[in-house]
Amino acid sequence: MQFPGLALSVCAFLFCVGGPRAAAQSKAPLPEPKPVPRMQALPQPYHQVSFQREGVEIMRAHFAPDLNRPFVFPLIGPSGRSLTRMGHPHDPIGHSHHNSVWLTHNDVNGVTFWSDRGDGRIIHQRVERLEDGDAAAAMLTVSAWTTREGKVLLHERRRTAVEWLPNNEWLLLIDVWLEPNKGQEVKLGKSAFGLIGVRMAKTIGVNDGGGMIRNSEGGVNEPEVFWKPAKWVDYSGPITPKATEGITLMDHPSNPNHPSVFHVRNDGWMGASLTYDGERVLKPGDVLKLRYGLYVHVGKPEVAALQKRWEEFAKTKLADLTPARK
């Protein structure tokens, strides 16, 4: 049974409620969309942030509060494979603390934050800011360097950023701001372990994959780069049957021990040692500011090209990580 009168009444009601203005709005074009950032830092479940370039992940940050330290994994090279790994390929238990790319130190007031069996943990507290853009994406995090008993030794603010480069290459910038807990003096003891470490993919290692290590001073492989000061160290090697890629770890000239002594091994790891030359004491109110860069690249660039990349990095200014006043 049809009710034509009812249909007309409904139409009339809708017209009366919406009126001509609603009808006009329904035909109006959508507003001009805002540009979508090419680089984005996208929050993920389980305390993670995915850094993406045009929708494709190139890096992921992990900072769950039950971890021993925050880290980033993977670091995706131009071929689409991770250039880093979790753990030593031949000693996954003893080197479980080799978390792809990580920050920590072996001796903070006698407490080791380096090993997973140590007494210290870097506990994530919050993400303060996420940034998207066409040229870069970043996140700012706050953590506490804490003993197993819950005593806070250091407050940390860290900016982790990725920058767009041509040829599917990219740059990871890590700025860190460390301040002793109120009223405390903190001593970073003399050690080759810390502040930054990088565990390369197995196939890139000299021993396992036939890769190569080079530094800014002309050294090649472990015998010539191990515990030697340098502006940068590059680790390159095969990542697919047809592709060679690598990472250049760069020490910023504003870092207090520049050029840093690098702890580098043929088994696939490299790190810049903040206190190899001696202990560093932070008095109450002191702030230690550091910047490291990781250049994710195609092939095995010439030394001159790597030196130019470092010179561009050296001109960059440290991020301002000063907490906002309340």
Digit-coded pLDDT (tens) for 13-38: 434 445 556 555 668 888 888 899 99
Mean pLDDT for 269-297 is 97
Residue that is written with structure tokens 């390369």 in the block = 200
Give me the mean pLDDT over the 2-8 stretch.
48
Q: How confident is the model at residue 166 (pLDDT cuts 50, 70, 90)?
A: very high
Average pLDDT value for the chain? 93
Q: What is the per-residue pLDDT for 289?
A: 98
What pLDDT sits at residue 6?
45
What pLDDT does 31 receive? 87
Structure tokens that stand for 244 in this block: 């060679």
262: CB partners within 8 A, 6+ apart: 215, 225, 226, 227, 228, 229, 230, 233, 249, 270, 271, 272, 273
pLDDT for the residue numbered 11: 46
Q: What is the mean pLDDT of residues 233-252?
A: 98
pLDDT, tens digit, 9 for 90 and up, residues 48-57: 999 999 999 9
- The whole-number pLDDT of residue 7 equals 47
Considering the entire predicted model, what is its pTM? Answer: 0.90
Q: Is the dihedral of CA 228, 170, 287, 311 positive or negative?
A: positive
Q: What percent of the chain clears pLDDT 90, i.e. is strictly above it?
A: 87
Query: DSSP secondary-structure letter at 240?
Result: S
Sorted by sequence, the CB contacts under 8 Å of residue 149 that are 6+ apart come out as none
Checking if the pLDDT of 234 tops 50, the result is: yes
Alpha helices (runs of H) in 204-302, residue ranges in sequence order: 206-209, 221-225
Query: What pLDDT score does 22 carry?
Result: 56
Q: Reduce the DSSP state of residue 180 to 3 states and report it.
A: strand
How many Å apart are CA 228 and CA 236, to the nearest integer? 18
Question: CA–CA separation, 219 vs 43, rounded Å?
Answer: 40
Q: Which residue has the higher pLDDT, 178 or 325?
A: 178
Which of 293, 298, 199, 302 has its CA nearest to residue 239? 298
Res. 12: pLDDT tops 50:
no
Ranges 60-64, 91-95, 120-124, 227-231: which has the least confidence: 91-95
| pLDDT at position 14 | 39
- From the list 82, 123, 80, 275, the residue with the least C-alpha distance to 72 is 82
pLDDT number for residue 76? 98
Q: Is the pLDDT assigned to residue 93 strictly greater than 60?
A: yes
